[in-house]
Amino acid sequence: MSARSLRESAREVLLNWDTDSDHAESLRHTMLAFLDSAPDGCLRSHAPGHITASSLVLDEDGRHVLLTLHPRVGRWIQLGGHCEEGDDTVVDAALREAREESGIEGLRIEPRMLSAHTHPITCSLGVPTRHLDLRFLVTAPGPASEVPITISDESQDLRWFPLDDLPEGAEKETIDHLALRARAHFR
């Protein structure tokens, strides 16, 4: 798929995002303006910054979260990464990244965004850049105890954790916010 179709899909999910604060609404407008000014803004080759796609992966009952110990960040975070030209949409990118980083088949993604975030990082380009991260809910096909996982080469570790007992070094504020937004899916 093309950079243009990725950009259009990012615009669509941002326009359909049910924001929960003035800050989120401002972030939506900032990301839309970025996409309007950056035709290749969904590709990692766009060094000033680029859209990324991540997933809060929960088990089927929503009680456990799958986190990766990210080697570059050094913290437990949600799964995710860069869009690739082979992705039809940013939703597809988020699901692909979750599959690649977990080894789990049968993951299901909710196509409406949970949230968005922007952060500076030195990623695989080797230069400082900015990630504009679109975050989605992905559900595993069973309870955490029955869903086998495989640690990819993109992770130092990968584990299921109870949502109410996150490990030291977890991006707790981020994960708690995503879990709060995801709870509506499990009601």
pLDDT tens-place string over residues 35-52: 999 999 999 889 889 999
CB 59 within 8 A of CB 141: no
Q: Which domains does the chain have, with CATH numbers?
A: 3-186 (3.90.79.10)
β-sheet bridge partners, residue 37 = none
Q: Residues 185, 137: contact at Cβ < 8 Å? A: yes
Q: What tokens were used for 38?
A: 């950056």
Single out the residue of 118, 121, 123 nearest to residue 133, CA to CA: 118
The angle that helices 90-102 and 3-15 make with each other, rounded to 10 degrees, is 100
Per-residue pLDDT averaged across 7-28, rounded? 96
Write down the pLDDT at residue 178. Answer: 94
CB 114 within 8 A of CB 123: no
- Burial, 106: exposed, middle or buried (Cβ in 10 Å; 0-12, 13-18, 19+)? exposed
In this prediction the pTM is: 0.94
User: Is residue 9 pLDDT above 60, yes or no?
Assistant: yes
Distance between CA atoms of 137 and 79, rounded to whole angstroms?
11
Over residues 91-114, the mean pLDDT reads 97
What's the pLDDT at 120? 80
Q: How many CA atoms does the CB half-sphere of 65 hold within 13 Å?
A: 28
Statement: residue 148 has pLDDT above 70: yes
**Using CA atoms, how far apart are residues 23 and 29, in angstroms rounded to an integer?**
10
Q: How far apart are the C-alpha atoms of 175 and 187, rounded to whole Å? A: 19
* 64 closest CA partner among 156, 155, 182: 182
